[in-house]
Structure 1
Amino acid sequence: MTEIVQKNDRRLEVDTLRGLACLLLVFYHVVGSSAASGLHVEKGVLREFNDLLVHVRMPIFTVLSGFVYGARPFSGGFFEFLVGKAKRLLVPMLFVGTFFALIQSFVPGSNHRVESWLLLHVIPYAHFWFVESLFLIFVVVAVLEYWQKITDGRSFFFVLLIAVLLMLSGAGFEYFSVKGAVYLFPYFMFGLLLKRFALLDGVGRAAGVCVLAVVFVCMLVWGERIGTDRQSVASLVVAVSSVSALYAMRLKFYWLAWVGVRSYSIYLYHVFFAAGARILSASMEVDSLGAMVVLGVVCGVLGPILVEHLVPDYSFSRRLFLGASVKRDRAK
């Protein structure tokens, strides 16, 4: 990831949203996806807030992935494109994901264990499912680009419609995170739509604020009706409306963008430091839930950034730990 936040407005806006997505993700794993994970929060504002955001967190990451891809799309060389994505996504997933599975299996105080080592990563493990899903999406998108099926508006919207219908149908299976790819694909296409066809470029910031406020109120009032099913019409509406509103608001915060440019490192490593902060808090008998949440989020964000700085500046080590080559980092 780049070390310096570029001052180009569009890049700053994208990195700001990446930073926001990182904070939401780390917060999610600190609090826990359920009462049996994270800080074991069973009820209350934190539990309800964390559950409601299930409709927003991964869509933000995926929409931004589609948007960024649109800036440097597939342009020929199918094999080279997929090898590059495999190095970027699958290599660190296999290395870091396997190490995380070992840590969770043998360190006291961890919340999960590996059920079958033979199927590790065949059945997606922990949050690394997203990386596998994203790689599959890039495979499909490269094929569509090669066949020129998403270059004009009509064919693009047809593919987007098919993607939405598949997502709502619940199609797919867990192996290699195919189901996750089906769930995320409409959001990737929406991000590409924003970039390729400048869909919301004419929408003002005030409109974005109003839409986000309406979505927030609806989630508070009808949260139970919306539920936590991510592959429902309600979830799709909440996700697209929220991301569209945030995009239209043109947020520009340098401190969030500073976090955002390190989003992949944070995604890979935040669980190590968030879990470490939780175990440390328990050993020190810290009984303030707020303090534990703040400590977990701070460690979950800053810890991976420290890892990024400590990884030796060699192509092999940076590829293995971060999915990035030295040449690419320096070029940015």
Structure 2
Amino acid sequence: MKTQNKDLSIETFRGIAILLVVMGHVIGSKSTGGMQVDDDSIYRYLYCLFDNIKMPLFIAIAGWVYSLHPVEKGKLSEFILKKAKRLILPMIFVGTTYFILQYLTPGTNNKGDITSIWKIYIYPYTLYWFLPALFLTFIVTSFLDLSNLMNTVKKWAIITFISWGLCFSQVSHIIPDSIPNLFAFKNALYLMPFFFVGVGLNRFKDNLATQSMKNIYLIGLIIGVILQQIDFFTPMEYYNKLHLNILIGMISSAYLISIKINIPFFTWLAQYAYSIYLFHGFGTSAGRIIFRKLHMSDLSVFIGATIMAVVLSIIIEKALIKWRPTKILFLGKK
């Protein structure tokens, strides 16, 4: 995949976002996962610092790219089939491979019961929750577009506000936990406001990407980061109760997408972003196990596992892309 005809700024931030995702998974969202670092460690601080940026930015970029080639009238079935091949096939085949390797490999975290493998095709499974959730996000967006519900700034703003409300309802458990999270639909509710931010910033750039709007995004980003820092060192009840991390993610994504920057290393990395997402779990797990057995420092584990995850993912893509069945089933490519 070449980047000559792509927006180099978007590709730069796509590369940055996927690297932040990998680093986050190396560290682990909790002290019981990943590197199993303490909650007061510098690594937990780094995880929390970028937690409200990495995935929202990654999703917002997906929305921005979608708006370049939205669903066309009369081609809904073709659009859905294309997205199913791109997202659901890798969810099944890469997810199954990861589950089995994790089950068989000594020293991995959160092993599943092999008799429960069927659940990974119906419910969210580890980092692969993203694939069915994004698939549902594409479907919802396609129906909204075909119904002309996001063809003006006003309509887009209303839909984005509604999506924020649904996201808030999901993360605040207003939507009961007793409702099964079938096909990661609750995760899709989390993704949608960020996705719609990306759609709007491209579709209505003359309204949403002006210098005055960039200044507003920047101010919001600064305020959000400050509140985030305060909450990390002195937890604030209202911060989590209001789930300000959603707004911080939306505003930070809007600011980063609206500015122009080109960093060649990240534009190069961006061409492998999807494969890195699919396969970095193999590298982060292997890296942590190997470097821990060598009794290396946390810093060495962090850097080593991150590099291994990225490099291994690129190698896997280059190997799988050579054979048509693996190219289709594991990479979702034509």
Q: Greater CA deviation, 127-136 or 43-52?
A: 43-52
Which among 25, 28, 40 is matched to residue 21 of structure 2? 25
Asked if 1:41 corresponds to 2:49, the answer is: no
Deviation by residue 1:161-191 (Cα, 9 ceiling, x = unmatched): 2211111112374221010001111111111
- What CA distance in whole angstroms lies between the structure 1 residues aligned with 2:203 and 2:308? 37
- What CA distance in whole angstroms lies between the structure 1 residues aligned with 2:110 and 2:28? 12
Deviation by residue 1:109-150 (Cα, 9 ceiling, x = unmatched): 110122522322211111100111000011111111222221
Contact 1:204 1:248 in 2 (8 A): no
- What CA distance in whole angstroms lies between the structure 2 residues aligned with 1:290 and 1:204? 41
Contact 1:5 1:254 in 2 (8 A): no
Corresponding residue of 1:268: 278
SS of 1:313's equivalent in the other structure is coil
Q: 1:122 to 1:205 in 2, by over 3 A?
A: same
After TM superposition, the structure 1 = structure 2 runs for residues 190-201 of structure 1, keeping only pairs within 5 Å, are 190-198=197-205, 199-201=207-209
Q: Greater CA deviation, 218-227 or 239-248?
A: 218-227
- What CA distance in whole angstroms lies between the structure 2 residues aligned with 1:99 and 1:216? 38
Corresponding residue of 1:97: 95
Q: 1:44 deviation in Å?
A: 1.3
Corresponding residue of 1:130: 130
Corresponding residue of 1:324: 333
- What CA distance in whole angstroms lies between the structure 1 residues aligned with 2:56 and 2:230? 22
Corresponding residue of 1:144: 144
Corresponding residue of 2:82: 84
Contact 1:219 1:226 in 2 (8 A): no
- What CA distance in whole angstroms lies between the structure 2 residues aligned with 1:248 and 1:78? 29
Q: 1:175 to 1:296 in 2, by over 3 A?
A: same
SS of 1:183's equivalent in the other structure is helix
SS of 2:36's equivalent in the other structure is coil
Which among 236, 257, 280 is matched to residue 225 of structure 1? 236
TM-score, normalization: structure 1?
Answer: 0.89
- What CA distance in whole angstroms lies between the structure 2 residues aligned with 1:178 and 1:234? 22
Which among 71, 75, 79 is matched to residue 74 of structure 1? 71
Deviation by residue 1:270-325 (Cα, 9 ceiling, x = unmatched): 01011111111122222x11111000111111211111112243432211121112
Corresponding residue of 1:295: 304
- What CA distance in whole angstroms lies between the structure 2 residues aligned with 1:146 and 1:294? 45
- What CA distance in whole angstroms lies between the structure 1 residues aligned with 2:37 and 2:285? 14
SS of 1:138's equivalent in the other structure is helix
Q: 1:249 deviation in Å?
A: 3.2
Identity of aligned residues (%): 28
Structure 1 residue identity aligned to 2:185: V
The runs of 5 or more residues in structure 2 that have no matched partner are none
Q: 1:95 deviation in Å?
A: 0.2
- What CA distance in whole angstroms lies between the structure 2 residues aligned with 1:216 and 1:49? 13
Q: 1:157 deviation in Å?
A: 2.0
- What CA distance in whole angstroms lies between the structure 2 residues aligned with 1:211 and 1:228? 15
- What CA distance in whole angstroms lies between the structure 2 residues aligned with 1:153 and 1:160? 10
Q: 1:53 deviation in Å?
A: 2.6
Which among 295, 303, 313 is matched to residue 304 of structure 1? 313
Asked if 1:187 corresponds to 2:194, the answer is: yes
Contact 2:198 2:254 in 1 (8 A): no
How many residue pairs are counted as aligned between the two chains?
A: 319
Contact 1:150 1:159 in 2 (8 A): yes
Asked if 1:176 corresponds to 2:183, the answer is: yes
